[in-house]
Structure 1
Amino acid sequence: MFRRVAIVGGGAAGATLLSELLERPLPQPLHLDWYTGGGPLGRGVAYGTRSERHLLNVRAASMGMFASRPGGFLEYAQKRDARVAGTDFLPRCWYGDYLEGETASALARAKSNGHDVRVVPYDVDAIVPENDGVTLLQGESTTRVDAAVLALGALTPRPLPGIEDDALASGRYVTLPWQLLADAKPDDQTHNVLVIGLGLTAVDVIVELAAKWPNAQFTAISRHGVLPEVHQTSASLPYEDSDELIETMRDAPDIRTWVHLLREAVEHTDDWRRVVDSLRPHTASLWGLLPQQDRSRFLRHARWAWERSRHRLPPQVARLVAGLEKDGRLKRIRGHVHGVALTGHGLSMTFLPKGESAERTLDADLVVQSVGLETDVRRTQHPLLQQMMTNSHVRSDPFGLGIDANAKGHVLHDGKAWPRLFAIGSLLRGALWESTAMPEIRQQARQLAEQLLAG
C-alpha cells in the first residue's frame, strides 16, 4: 500500500476520497496530506451555497457520501427533519452541511486510529510526478509522497469570446455566478438581467435573483433556448428492458446506432426518464467503448440533448421558473452570443438569433455567464494545472473535457500512465464522461481508495 498520500483539492471529491481511505481498517497507519485551498472542508463550489432555494437534482435517498452507505444523506436529513422522504429534492446547503459533518467525523476517527492527517489550508504551487513518487511544492515547503490525487473540481470559468475588456472591468459582466448570488442583497429596484446559458446553474441564478430582486426582469439566451427537462414528482420503476438495451449498445459502439436504440426504447415505455436513468450505472463503460470520431460526433450533435435529459430540474424549481415566465419576468431566446460591450447605460450584447442572418443587440444592467462546468485545461488560468501542462506532466483530453487519464483515474503523459499520480471528479470527464455528480464520485473514491491501499 502507499503509506503517504497527498490529496489536492478541498471539495466534495477530495473529502469523499479522504473519508473512504480513513473508513477502512488498515494494518498500518496512513499519512495523508490534504491540500484544501482554504474554505469549508468538503463543500467546494458545488455545495457552498447557503440558499435553500438551490436544490439537489438527485433524490435524497441516492446522495450518500459513501458507496457502501448510499442512504447516509437521507439518514442525516431525517434527523434534521423527520418529514423528509427519500424521494425529496433537498437544499444543497443541507448537503454541504452533511459533507462537512462526515469529513469532520472522518478526521476525528483518523486521529483516534493512529493515522496522521495533515490538513493544509493552501493551494499546491507545483507537482512533479515520477515513477517512484510525487513531489509537491507549496510555498517554501517541499514534500515527497508515495502517491498524489488531483481532486480540483471544476475550473474557474473564462469569459466567452467577444467579451470586451471594459465590460469585464465594469463588474457588470459576471463569470462567477455563485459569488454573485452569495453577495446579492435584497433590492426593490428595477434590474434588467441577461443570463447566458439555460442549464441548471442558470436556473439557480434566475430563481435566486428573482426572489431577492422582485422587480428584476430576466432574459436567458442559449443555443437551443430550452430549459432542462423535469424530474417526475415520484420516483419511477426501473426500465424493465435495461439489460437487453445495454448489451445491444455494447455490441454496437456507434453513436448513430445508440441514438436509434434509445429512441426505439423510449417509444415503448411510459416514461422516457426510465430509459435515460437505466444508462447511468453504465455510462462510463459505454463511453469507453466509443471510438474518438463517435465521441466527437456526440459532443457536436447530441451533447445538448443528453445534458438536458440527464441533468433534470426538481419539480418545485420547474414550477418557479414556469411562474416567472407566465408573469412575464423571464424570457428565453435562441441564438449565439457574439460579444458584450460596455455602454453609457450598462452593457449591450450582440447576438445572432437562431435561423436569422442579421445580428441583434440586447441591453442589460447585468450579464451573468452560466454556460456549464469549465474543465478545459488547455486555456485554464489555474496555476497548478498551468505548471503541470507546461512541464508536460499532464495533457488535455483530446476534446478539452479535462485531463488525459484512463478509466481507473491514472493521469496519462506521452500515452503512458503515471503509476503514482491520479485524478478524481470533474477533470475525468474525458475518460468517463459522467464524472461530476456524487453517485459517480463516491464510486470513483471507493475504487481509487482500493488502488491506493493496494499500492
Structure 2
Amino acid sequence: MHRRVAIIGGGAAAAALLGELLERQPPQALHLDWYTGGGTPARGVAYGTRSDRHLLNVRAASMGMFAGKPQGFLDFLQREDPAIAGTDFLPRRRYGDYLEAEVARALALGKAQGHDVQIVPFAADAVVPEVDGVTVFRNEEGRRVDAAVLALGALPPQPLAGVSAAALGSGRYVVDPWPLLAAPPAAAPDHVAVIGLGLTAVDVLLELAARWPGTRFTAISRHGRLPEPHLRAAALPSGDSAELIEAMQDAPEVRRWLHLLREAIAQEEDWRSVIDSLRPHTPALWATLSIEQRARFQRHARWAWERARHRMPPPVHESLAALERAGRLHRLRGHLQDADVDADSLRLTLRPYGGGTPQVLQAGLVVQSAGMDFDVTRTPHPLMRQLVVNRHVLPDPLGLGCQATPQGRLLHEGGTWPRLFAIGSLLRGTLWESTAMPEIRQQARAVADQLLAG
C-alpha cells in the first residue's frame, strides 16, 4: 500500500482520484499532497465557467464523479430540485458545484478517519520518479512520496503556426478563450473570427453572441461543420454490437472500420446508437491499431469521429442555428495560413480546403478554439517540459500525451515506472477516449486500486 501519495492537478480528474482514495477506508492512514495549481480545487478549466449558456454535453444521469455511483450528480441536483431529470443537459457550473461538494465531503470523511490531506494551492515545479518513490518539488523544496499521479487536464493552448508576434502582441488574437469568456471587454468588435468548430468554439460563439448582440461571427475549420446534436430523447444503444466489435478487432485497419461502421449504421434507425455502443470498447479497439493506422485515423477520420462522438445538447444546436438564420454566424472551410496586424484589425489569410486561391478576411478579434492540446513535446507547461527534457516520460509518437500502460503507469526508456501514474488527457495516446468524466472516473478507480494495493 502506498501511504504517501502526491496528486498533481486541480481539476475533476484529480478530485475523482482524491475521492476514490478517501472513500475506500484503507486500513492505514493516508498522507495525500494535492497540488491544485491555484484556482478553485476540483473545477479546473472545464467546470470553472459561471455561464449558464455553457452546458454539459452528457446527460445528468451519466455524470457521477465515482465509478460506483454514476448517478451521483443527478442525486446531488435532485436534493435541491426533484424536477430535474436524468436526461437533462445542465450548466457546467452546476457540475462544478457538485465536484466542490464531493471534495468537501471526502475531505471531512478523510479527516474523521485520520487521513492527512494537504491542499497545496500551487503547481508542482518538478517531479523526479525513481523505482522506490517519487520526489515532488515546489520551488527548491522537495517532498518524497511513495507514488505520484499526474492529473493535469488540458495542456495550455499554443498559437497556431502562421500567427505573427505582432498579432499576438496586439491583444486581438486570443489563444486561450476562457479568460476572455469570463470577462469580455465592454467594447464589442463588429466582426469576430473563431478558429475551430468543436465544442470549445461552440461555447465561444454562444457566450460572445449573447454578450455582443451586434457582432458578426465567422467560424473557420477544415470541414466547416459543427458537432452533431444529441437526440432530444435519450436512446440506449441497440444490442451490444458484439458482431461489429469482433469484426473491427479482426481487421484493425481504419478504412475497413469505416466500411463496417457504415454497414452497421445502415441497419439502425439512428447512427448515434452505433457510435454510443462503441464507447465501452474504444480503448481496446484503439490498442489493436498500429502506429501507422492511428496516424491515418488522425489525418482522415478524427474530425468525423469527434463531431459524431462529442455532440451538442439540442438547445445549443438550436441557438447556433438561430445565429446562422439571423446572418450573424457564417462558417468557412479552410486552414489558417497566417494572421497579422492590419491597422486596427487583424488580417487572416485562409487556405481553402482542397486547395485554391487563398482568401483574406479582416476581423476585429480572433479567438483560437482549435481543441485540446496533447503534445507534451511542444507544450509550455513547466512540469511537462521538465519531465520530457529529463526523459522521465516518453511522449506519444503522435503527440497524444505520454506513453503509458492501459492501467495508467507511465513509461520511460527503461520500462514502466512502478510509482508514477497519469489519468485523463495524458493517456489520450494509450486509450484514445480519455477526457470525458465517464472514462476519467474509471481511470481514477483503477489507479486508486493500484495505489492501495501497493
Q: Into which bin does the TM-score normalised by the smaller protein fall?
A: over 0.9
Q: Distance in 2 between matches of 1:428 and 1:80?
A: 36
Contact 2:287 2:430 in 1 (8 A): yes
The letter of the residue matching 1:106 is A
Q: Distance in 1 between matches of 2:10 and 2:308?
A: 30
Aligned to 1:339, the other structure's residue is in SS state: strand
The letter of the residue matching 1:38 is G
Q: Which residue matches 1:160?
A: 160
Q: Distance in 1 between matches of 2:224 and 2:32?
A: 46
Greater alpha carbon shift after TM alignment, 276-285 vs 136-145: 136-145
Greater alpha carbon shift after TM alignment, 140-149 vs 74-83: 74-83
Distance 1:216 1:145, change over 3 A: same
Residue 148 (structure 2) pairs with residue 151 (structure 1): no
Aligned to 2:402, the other structure's residue is in SS state: coil
After superposition, give the CA deviation of every residue in 1:202-241 in whole Å (9 maximum; x if it has no partner). 0110000000100010000000000000100011132225
The letter of the residue matching 1:293 is E
Aligned to 1:258, the other structure's residue is in SS state: helix
Contact 1:127 1:134 in 2 (8 A): yes
Aligned to 2:407, the other structure's residue is in SS state: coil
What pairs with 1:257-268 in structure 2 (closer than 5 Å)? Answer: 257-268=256-267
Distance 1:95 1:241, change over 3 A: closer
Q: Distance in 2 between matches of 1:164 and 1:109?
A: 52
The letter of the residue matching 1:99 is L
Distance 1:190 1:429, change over 3 A: closer
Q: Which residue matches 2:364?
A: 365
Instruction: Give the TM-score, by structure 1 length.
Output: 0.98
Residue 132 (structure 2) pairs with residue 135 (structure 1): no
What pairs with 1:232-243 in structure 2 (closer than 5 Å)? Answer: 232-240=231-239, 242-243=241-242
Contact 2:66 2:441 in 1 (8 A): yes
The letter of the residue matching 2:223 is H
Q: Distance in 1 between matches of 2:182 and 2:406?
A: 36
Contact 1:185 1:212 in 2 (8 A): no
> How well do the aligned residues superpose, as a CA RMSD in angstroms?
1.1
Residue 96 (structure 2) pairs with residue 102 (structure 1): no
After superposition, give the CA deviation of every residue in 1:231-280 in whole Å (9 maximum; x if it has no partner). 00011132225122212222222222211111100000001000000011
Contact 1:337 1:350 in 2 (8 A): yes
Q: Distance in 2 between matches of 1:346 and 1:212?
A: 20
Q: Which residue matches 2:179?
A: 179
Distance 1:319 1:448, change over 3 A: same
Residue identity over aligned pairs, in percent, reads 63
Q: Distance in 2 between matches of 1:143 and 1:345?
A: 50
| Cα shift at 1:38 | 1.1
| Cα shift at 1:185 | 5.2
Contact 1:428 1:435 in 2 (8 A): yes
Contact 1:134 1:146 in 2 (8 A): yes
Q: Distance in 1 between matches of 2:286 and 2:102?
A: 32
Contact 1:60 1:87 in 2 (8 A): yes
What pairs with 1:27-38 in structure 2 (closer than 5 Å)? Answer: 27-38=27-38
| Cα shift at 1:21 | 0.4
| Cα shift at 1:85 | 0.6
Contact 2:189 2:365 in 1 (8 A): no
Poorly superposed stretches of 4+, deviation over 4 Å = none
After superposition, give the CA deviation of every residue in 1:302-324 in whole Å (9 maximum; x if it has no partner). 00000010000000000000000
The letter of the residue matching 1:97 is D
Q: Which residue matches 2:352?
A: 353
| Cα shift at 1:415 | 5.5
Distance 1:355 1:296, change over 3 A: closer
Aligned to 1:422, the other structure's residue is in SS state: strand
Greater alpha carbon shift after TM alignment, 12-21 vs 287-296: 287-296
Q: Which residue matches 1:436?
A: 435
| Cα shift at 1:355 | 3.7
What pairs with 1:333-348 in structure 2 (closer than 5 Å)? Answer: 333-348=332-347
Residue 317 (structure 2) pairs with residue 318 (structure 1): yes
Q: Which residue matches 2:12?
A: 12
Q: Which residue matches 1:215?
A: 214
Q: Which residue matches 1:417?
A: 416
| Cα shift at 1:144 | 0.5
Aligned to 1:452, the other structure's residue is in SS state: helix
Q: Which residue matches 1:396?
A: 395
